């Protein structure tokens, strides 16, 4: 028991929260599990926590029980609001629910630093939200850490190292300015209804500064081109960049190498040579 609120199965029944695929609704109903995910986010005391897609509120309850100063939760499905109101009543002044689309709301004005983000993300907007958090106008970002549930395949791409099939744009974008590790692995049966694939929780902690100097736009443009045709040699996939062969050599990269073998440090060196 993490609180005195009703079990989540009862909450779902009482509020008629049948899961909708279009909203990426795969709910976590085991409060021990949601408490464990909240613990993976580290010490929440004194922090505002942003949660995207609280649904019936399993993770929300875990975050509040773990001592978050405040949880700001954005939920698109209005059917969930009465269930979330019950949680807000049980934790007076600590849960602020915003009805709307997380892709469209400027959350920063609702949050006071220090801020952490934790969510069992809707699969259809998960990667887009992650990339927006990883590429803000200024660094360090408004958040200290991200504790996020993804399909296992996406989690693998986030933490992948050069030489693996999963290594690509998401690995570089994340690891350039953050530490990332998989902290939990979950089978489909952990969710209601169970999705087709396994899931994983990734813990991403912002670094105070990028790991290697580079211009963000240049780095991202290079990485996008390089991985668009990952089987091609870099001198071919990057041929749209004037003088690329010399720039690759200046960055210590063999022009006949393929993108998936090049580490972050070399990509940053190439971004500097191109800029
Ligand atoms: N956090 C709950 C849990 O763990 O049981 C629900 C997770 S479920 C995977 C995703 C949640 O995100 C759903 O409640 C869904 O309604 C909500 N959602 C989907 N798209 C959204 C969007 N664009 N903005 C905000 N919430 C969204």
What does each of the 275 residues of the chain score in pLDDT, given as a tens digit? 789 999 999 999 999 999 999 999 999 999 999 999 999 999 999 999 999 999 999 999 999 999 999 999 999 999 999 999 999 999 999 999 999 999 999 999 999 999 999 999 998 899 999 999 999 999 999 999 999 999 999 999 999 999 999 999 999 999 999 999 999 999 999 999 999 999 999 999 999 999 999 999 999 999 999 999 889 999 999 999 999 999 999 999 999 999 999 999 999 999 999 99
pLDDT at 33: 98
Residue 49 near residue 91 (C-beta atoms within 8 A): no
Nearest to 61 by CA among 82, 80, 34, 37: 34
Instruction: State the distance from the centre of ligand 1 to the C-alpha of 126, rounded, in angstroms.
Output: 10
Ligand 1 atom 21: the closest Cα is on which residue? 76
| C-beta 10 within 6 A of ligand 1 | no
**pLDDT at site 123:** 86
Kindly report the pTM of this predicted structure: 0.97
The best mutation among 15, 22, 31, 53 to test binding of ligand 1, ranked by most ligand atoms within 8 Å of the C-beta, falls on 53
Which candidate, 258, 254, 224, 257, places its Cα nearest to that of 241? 224
Domain residue extents for the chain: 8-206, 216-274
Distance 125 CA to ligand 1 centre (A): 9
Closest residue by CA, ligand 1 atom 6? 55
Instruction: Provide the pLDDT for residue 2.
Output: 85
DSSP 35-56: HHHHHHT---TT-EEEEE--TT
Q: What percent helix, strand, coil does the chain show, rounded to 5?
A: 40, 20, 40
CATH superfamily, domain 8-206, is Vaccinia Virus protein VP39 (3.40.50.150)
Strand-pairing partners, residue 17, are none
pLDDT of residue 212: 98
- For 216-274, CATH number out of 1.10.3720.10, 3.40.920.10, 1.10.286.10, 1.10.8.100 equals 1.10.8.100
For ligand 1, say whether the CB of 76 is within 6 Å of any of its atoms.
yes
Which two tokens mark 145? 């850490």
Spatial CA neighbour of 186 closest among 1, 22, 16, 36: 36
Asked whether the beta carbons of 61 and 73 are under 8 A apart, the reply is no
Contact 271, 214 (CB under 8 A): yes
**CB-CB neighbours of 106 under 10 Å:** 6
The pLDDT of residue 1:
79
CB-CB neighbours of 130 under 10 Å: 23
What is the Cα–Cα distance from 57 to 252, expressed in whole angstroms? 50
């Amino acid at each position: 028991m993490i609180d005195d609120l009703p079990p989540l199965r009862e909450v779902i029944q009482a509020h008629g929260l049948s899961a909708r695929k279009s909203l990426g609704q795969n709910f976590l109903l085991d409060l021990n599990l949601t408490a464990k995910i909240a613990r993976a986010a580290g010490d929440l005391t004194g922090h505002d926590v942003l949660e995207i897609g609280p649904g019936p509120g399993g993770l929300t309850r875990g975050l509040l029980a773990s001592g978050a100063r405040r949880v700001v939760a954005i939920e698109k499905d209005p059917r969930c609001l009465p269930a979330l109101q019950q949680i807000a009543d049980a934790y007076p002044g600590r849960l602020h629910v915003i009805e709307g689309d997380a892709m469209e709301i400027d959350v920063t004005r609702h949050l006071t630093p220090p801020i952490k983000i934790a969510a069992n993300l809707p699969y259809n907007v998960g990667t887009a939200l992650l990339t927006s958090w990883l590429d803000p106008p200024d660094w360090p970002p408004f958040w200290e850490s991200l504790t996020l549930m993804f399909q296992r395949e996406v989690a693998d791409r986030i933490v992948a190292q050069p030489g693996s099939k999963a290594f690509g744009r998401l690995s570089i974008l994340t690891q350039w300015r953050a530490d990332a590790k998989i902290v939990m692995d979950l089978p489909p049966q952990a969710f209601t209804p169970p999705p087709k694939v396994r899931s994983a929780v990734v813990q991403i902690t912002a670094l105070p500064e990028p790991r290697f100097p580079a211009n963000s736009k240049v780095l991202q443009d290079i990485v996008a081109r390089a991985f668009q045709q990952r089987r091609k040699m870099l001198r071919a996939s990057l041929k749209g960049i004037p003088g690329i062969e010399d720039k690759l050599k200046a960055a210590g990269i063999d022009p006949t190498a393929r993108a998936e073998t090049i580490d972050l440090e070399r990509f940053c060196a190439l971004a500097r040579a191109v800029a």
